[in-house]
Structure formats: C-alpha cells, structure tokens
C-alpha cells in the first residue's frame, strides 16, 4: 500500500529552474528568434507609397528573375560559393596540417607557434583588412619591395584592384586570419586521443603516416565535419572583410560582392541605390534558407554517417 501511494505521488515542477533559464531564454527570443521571424514576415510585403502591402513570394521571384535584381544576386551568390570553396580547400586542410604538427611531442616551442598562428583570429576584421590593404597597395605598400628583394618582383601586381584577382586575394587574407580556428578545434581533438592507442599502433609496427590515416584521422572526422559546417555558415554570413577593404560596392565592378554586402546595399541603400527594407528582408531570408538547406544536407548525407568514438 505504501508503495502504491508513493507511485501516485507526483513530484512538484521545478519552477526554480525558470530563474536560471528565464533570462537567457528571454534574451535569445528577443535578439534571435523575434528578429528572424520578423524578417521572414517582412519579406512577404512590399512598400508602396509608404504603406506595406502583402505580396507573398513576389519579392523572391523579383530577386531571382528580374533583370534589375537577378544579375547582382547571382553574381553575389557565385562569389560567395567561390569564397567558401577557398576556405574549404585551403583553410581547413592547412588547419588540419598545423594541428597535426603542433600536436607532435617532438616539436619544440609548440605553444608559441600555436599562439602566433591563432593571434590574427582575435584581431578585428576591420583592422586586418586595413593593414592588408596598406601592405598590398602598389603606391605605399611594402609587398612590392619585399617581392623584389627575394627575386619575385615580376609577380607583383595590384591584386586588390583587378576583377580577376580581388576576390582571390581577399579569400587568402581571410584564410590567413581564421586558419587558427580549425587548427585549435582539431588540435584539441588530437590531444584527446588516448596515448595507449597510439602506442599500440607503434608496437604493431605502424609508421607515423599509417598511424595518422588509419587511427587519428577516423577519430577526428567528427571534428572536421563540425569545422566544415562552421566554415559554411561563417562564409555565407561574411561581410566585414569585404566592406572594410572594398566598401559596400565590393569593387572593382562588384567582383568581390558577397551576399552580405549585397544585402547591405539592398536594405540600407548606398550612393544612388535606394534602400528597401522588404527586398532586403527577402535577401536575408534567402541567405537564411541557403545556410539552412546546406547544413541540413551536410548533416543528412555526411554527419550521420560518421562514426563517433567516446573514450
């Protein structure tokens, strides 16, 4: 009888948890959820004579088909894909290589190297862009003299001033600044691998290269997948570096225009272009959908197939 009475008793709801979760949840709803929902709703309206009129998907259709909008949108999307490809093919492999080298117990001054490589990540993107703009300037920059001093002066050019090289140059600058993030994430995972497993492979006669590809690499694949997702999200939200170096027009001739700078000009307006909050909301919504679909596809086709190990 006592047992049955105890089972029927319900524990009181822990209302005190709201005291801990409430402030954080309120801030998240106010500054993340509400602006997102408001943007999605705003993208379905159109401004006419100071009044907002519901137009459904008209703004999106205009954005991708109208000749006044589509060329700029597809150019920004194409440049964004190239920007992301540079980071995936350069930043993450370099970060992986640096993490492997810095995790070697035979490397001296590893902590100093790690700090120096990660230091640009902590600096402001505006400062990084301004400094590199000075360095690469054909007029007062030091890059020309440096290349001539090492016998490579014939390769110097106004890389930031030409349509064919401006986006590539900015991609290299961004890779240089943020390569410390994948390096540190992968480095922390490598340190978490038990020494017993590495020692066992050495006893079995495995070379350092075999140990890495057959033992370490499978164990760090989940971290590499997470780094890839973070890279995708960060690159399709990129704005500061392009704006700091090339301005809102993302010159020359919009060759460095990304979705972030395109959204800025659309929403706030710039020079002769008049801003439109509804079209800007449509651009922001498409950016959100691109990121959402990309992350979902990655999680469905790649992330769920990666086997995780827990030590």
The tokens for 254 are 């919009």
Where do the structural domains in the chain lie, given as residue ranges? 60-305
- What pLDDT was estimated at residue 106? 85
Of 158, 165, 163, the C-alpha closest to 137 is 158
- What pLDDT was estimated at residue 146? 87
Residues of the chain with pLDDT under 50: 1
- What pLDDT was estimated at residue 182? 96
At residue 261, what are phi and psi to the nearest 5 degrees?
-70, -35
**What is the CATH architecture of 60-305?**
Orthogonal Bundle (1.10)
How does DSSP assign 168-222, residue by residue? Answer: HHHHHHHHHHHTHHHHHHHHHHHHTS-HHHHHHHHHTT--HHHHIIIIIHHHHHH
pLDDT digits (tens, 9 = 90+) for 226-270: 999 999 999 999 999 999 999 999 989 999 999 999 999 999 988
- What pLDDT was estimated at residue 309? 57
Of 235, 197, 200, the C-alpha closest to 217 is 197
- What pLDDT was estimated at residue 167? 96
pLDDT digits (tens, 9 = 90+) for 43-59: 999 987 677 889 989 99
Phi-psi region of 270 (alpha: psi -120 to 50; beta: other; left: phi over 0): beta
């Amino acid at each position: 009888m006592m047992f049955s009475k105890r089972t029927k008793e319900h524990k009181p709801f822990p209302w005190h948890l709201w005291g801990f979760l409430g402030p954080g949840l309120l801030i998240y709803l106010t500054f993340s959820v509400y602006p997102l929902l408001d943007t999605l709703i705003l993208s379905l309206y159109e401004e006419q004579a100071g009044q907002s009129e519901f137009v459904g998907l008209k703004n999106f259709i205009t954005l991708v088909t109208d000749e006044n909008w589509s060329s700029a949108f597809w150019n920004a999307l194409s440049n964004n894909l190239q920007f992301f490809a540079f980071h995936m093919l350069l930043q993450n492999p370099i970060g992986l290589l640096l993490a492997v080298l810095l995790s070697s117990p035979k490397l001296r001054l590893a902590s100093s190297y790690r700090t120096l490589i990660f230091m640009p990540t902590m600096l402001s993107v505006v400062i990084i862009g301004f400094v590199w703009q000075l360095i690469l300037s054909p007029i007062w920059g030091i890059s020309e003299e440096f290349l001539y001093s090492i016998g490579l002066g014939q390769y110097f050019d106004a890389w930031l001033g030409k349509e064919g090289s401006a986006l590539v140059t900015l991609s290299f600058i961004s890779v240089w600044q943020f390569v410390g993030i994948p390096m540190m994430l992968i480095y922390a995972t490598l340190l978490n691998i038990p020494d017993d497993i590495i020692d066992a492979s050495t006893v079995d006669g495995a070379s350092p290269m075999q140990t890495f590809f057959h033992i370490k690499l499978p164990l760090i694949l989940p971290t590499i997948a997470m780094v890839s997702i973070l890279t995708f999200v960060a690159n399709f939200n990129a704005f500061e570096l392009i704006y700091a170096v090339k301005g809102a027009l993302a010159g020359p001739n919009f060759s460095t225009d990304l979705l972030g700078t395109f959204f800025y000009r659309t929403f706030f307006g710039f020079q002769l272009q008049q801003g439109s909050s509804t079209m800007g909301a449509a651009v922001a919504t498409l950016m959100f959908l691109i990121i959402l679909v990309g992350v979902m596809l990655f999680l469905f086709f790649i992330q769920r197939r990666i086997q995780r190990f827990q030590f």
